[in-house]
A and B are shown apart, each in its own frame.
Chain A
Amino acid sequence: MAKYYIGLDGGSTYLKAALIGNGRVIDTMVRNTGIDNDGTARKIANELCIRNSLKPSDIGYIMATGYSRKVLEVADDDISEITAHAYGVRLTAPKEYRPGMIIDIGGQDSKIIYLDGNYGVKNFSMNDKCAAGTGKFMEVIAQILETTIDNVGTLSLQAKNPCDINSTCVVFAQSEVISLVARKYDRCDILAGMHQSMAKRIIKMMKKSEKGGDILMTGGGALNIGLHRAFEEELMRDVYVARYPQFNGAIGVALIASERG
């Protein structure tokens, strides 16, 4: 009898997959989305099975989410990112987390999801019109400062006097950073300023009335310790980080799949 489930999250940059069984995350995998979304998804599902010595018949149900969810034909069904992320935190949130708010920072969008006490979606806000406050923003700034996105978090923790970056638009912020570099500001200070500016930008999307519960960060952005700190400072509250933050959506759909198959 099948008891394993696969969740696929076809994002703008990467395709993430999660394998779950018995209510636990067993394995995760990530690949560049590429041009053949469905082909990549089939390959990734196959590799997950081989790596965990499973046969395709062991997989009860496959569910997809993300931008390319409609074209992932290997999946049995698909669901929106909002629902997927809300489900994912049931497995990825730390034990002490009381459901309240999820901040998801993806490659090209960022969203805030408000949960009720039972992890049901109450409401959500999304920024999907511009790249401010997304992973792309970090990538652009990291490039100017001759570092990579994996290092910006730790570098920014060494900052002594974080700079002000006031532009919300990625393109304008880019020129603002270039002028800071020209004025010989420290790279760590600039990065700390960038995190502050991103956090402020995302906090503006939050609803003041939604105060119950704790705050949890998901998405690739949650891997950035500098950004995590910036959120805690700006919100003046503890912010939790999900386990497998990048795979939260994929884990969420895998969990929904487990209710279907």
Chain B
Amino acid sequence: MFTKRTETLRQRQDRRFINKETQTAAKYLRRMKELSGAPEGIEPFYNTLERIYVDMDYVKSGAYRHTIGTYCVMTPPELIYAAGAMPVKLCSGNYTAFSIGDDIAPRDACPLVKAVAGFKQTGLMPVYEDCSMMIVPITCDCKKKIAGMLSDRCEVMTLHIPATRNDDDIEEFTRQLYELMERLENITGNRITYESLSDAFRIVGYAQYELSEFIRLKKQMPYLIRGSHAMAILNAASYMTAGEWGRALHSVNETLKKRIAEKKTVTSKKLPRILLTGSPIVFPNIKIPLLIEENGGIVAGDETCMGERGMWDPAVITDNSFDGMINALANRALRPCPCPTFADNSQRIYRIKQLIKENQIQGVIYHVLRGCLVYDFEYKRIEDELGKLGIPVIRLESDYNEEDIEQLRIRIEAFIELIKLRQEPEKNKAVRKNF
């Protein structure tokens, strides 16, 4: 006997996809909430992640009528706000979408791009479907090809990212930003004026100010916040307007300041302080920071592009004209960026060394997503440089699935033990009476 089917095949597949997707997201949210020491005021960020991935709802764009999908840190959010639209970062960490994308993209493509391809294929994810346009900076071959795939289903603009950052490159990038401006104007029907662009600088600037305050508080010793919780806050920025996110972050910052005043910390134990760098870590693929903190370490530094690096650099306007502002955006997008897409990326090494010093880092975990060649390439040089400083570093390769969790766990555990064993052990004085 066959069960009577009321849904079509497509409907059943969609339902299964939604079930699986929401369950995974809910599971990782729960694991994050189970970690002790989350600051008061973190709820809006949890709620945003829950809304997007568990409820599969649209972003709350407020007064902005359009949403524009973006990838990578080179897309200037200021231009999008100036056109009266809201930027939504679409880089994905989704395991369920990855399993769909795995059949579309070649085997050696990176899981992040496969997950994006998977979401677009199913057509079920509101944040993707709602976008009026997607802006794809071409930071690697996978991003280049995904831009082509996405253009079958929605309007796409690619941003060419040069290999070097000379004046000529900045000039060319500025030209592209003008083209982007025009396309944004056509889609939204709003003109980008001197006033609207200045306003956009202020909106984004406010969020950046709160972020710099957050980062300053985060590196305090002893720790006021766990890295996994900070990761949730920074990841949620993708799906919130800069104003809303900045205001929510402000209240987290207030909590952290209160913790300083009350001398309250996440834990009284001396946890090994770990810097996380390498390929992007996108919710719900937060298994690595979670494993670090569930196994007795603390993510005290974060040099990933969906984390602290994302909005780290404010645009600096040296010339107060409209051209000056666009130029400032182009400069900000390329010059300070430690993305391995650039041929010479010694500033990433400076940045990592700076983080090690300021955040008193004891070990570095270098995350490589399978197939993420540019990050994998830079591992060797960073390992050599950190070796000179006597900082242990471990390369962790992972994919968007849960099969490698036990292997990752044992590697992370051994790495944390290695750091602990370098410290002076606490002596045990109790006398044993029996076994």
Q: Which residues of A contact B (CB under 8 A)?
A: 2, 42, 45-46, 56-57, 59-61, 74, 76, 79-80, 82-83, 120-121, 123-124, 126, 128, 256, 259-261
Contacts and interface: CB of A to CB of B under 8 A. Distances in A.
Contacts of B392: 120
Interface stretch (B93-101, B254-262, B412-420): B412-420
B417 A57 contact: no
A57 B407 contact: no
Given A80-B413, A124-B414, A256 B421 contact: yes
B320 interface: no
Contact of B406 (A42, A121, A128): A128
24 contacts: A2-B432, A45-B435, A56-B432, A56-B434, A56-B435, A57-B433, A76-B428, A80-B413, A80-B414, A82-B414, A83-B417, A120-B392, A121-B414, A121-B418, A123-B394, A124-B411, A126-B407, A128-B406, A128-B410, A256-B421, A260-B425, A260-B426, A260-B427, A261-B427
B229 to A, nearest CB: 26
A89 to B, nearest CB: 15
B1 interface: no
Across the A-B interface, the 10 shortest Cβ-Cβ residue pairs = A82-B414, A42-B435, A83-B417, A45-B435, A56-B432, A261-B428, A80-B414, A80-B413, A259-B425, A260-B425
A80 B413 CA distance: 7
B431 to A, nearest CB: 5
A83 B414 contact: yes
Given A83-B421, A256-B421, A57 B432 contact: yes
Given A83-B417, A120-B418, A260 B432 contact: no
**Interface residue tally on B, bucketed by range:** 20 to 34
A8 to B, nearest CB: 11
A129 B163 CA distance: 41
Nearest to A122: B392
B421 A82 contact: no
Max count, chain A CB within 10 A of own CB: residue among B392, B413, B414, B431: B414
Contacts of B406: 128
Contact of B428 (A61, A74, A121): A61
Contacts of B431: 2, 57
Contacts of A123: 394
A80 B435 contact: no
A74 B433 CA distance: 12
Contacts of A57: 431-433
B249 to A, nearest CB: 37
Interface in B102-150: none
A80 B417 contact: yes
Contacts of A80: 410, 413-414, 417
Nearest to B412: A80
A53 to B, nearest CB: 16
Interface string B362-384: 00000000000000000000000
Contacts of A121: 414, 418
A261 B411 CA distance: 27
Contacts of B407: 126, 128
A185 B162 CA distance: 64
A46 B433 CA distance: 12
A5 to B, nearest CB: 11
A126 B413 CA distance: 14
A46 B425 contact: no
Contacts of A46: 435
Contacts of B432: 2, 56-57, 59
Contacts of B435: 42, 45-46, 56, 74
B410 A82 contact: yes
A42 B435 CA distance: 6
Contact of B418 (A2, A60, A83, A128): A83
Contacts of A56: 432-435
A118 to B, nearest CB: 11
A260 B428 contact: yes
Nearest to A124: B414
Contacts of B410: 80, 82, 126, 128
Contacts of B414: 80, 82-83, 121, 124
Nearest to B434: A56
A83 to B, nearest CB: 5
Contacts of B413: 80
A67 B111 CA distance: 31
Nearest to A87: B421
Given A82-B410, A126-B407, 13 more contacts: A46-B435, A56-B433, A56-B434, A57-B433, A59-B432, A61-B428, A80-B410, A83-B414, A83-B417, A121-B414, A128-B407, A260-B427, A261-B427
Nearest to A259: B425
Contacts of B421: 83, 256
A60 B428 CA distance: 8
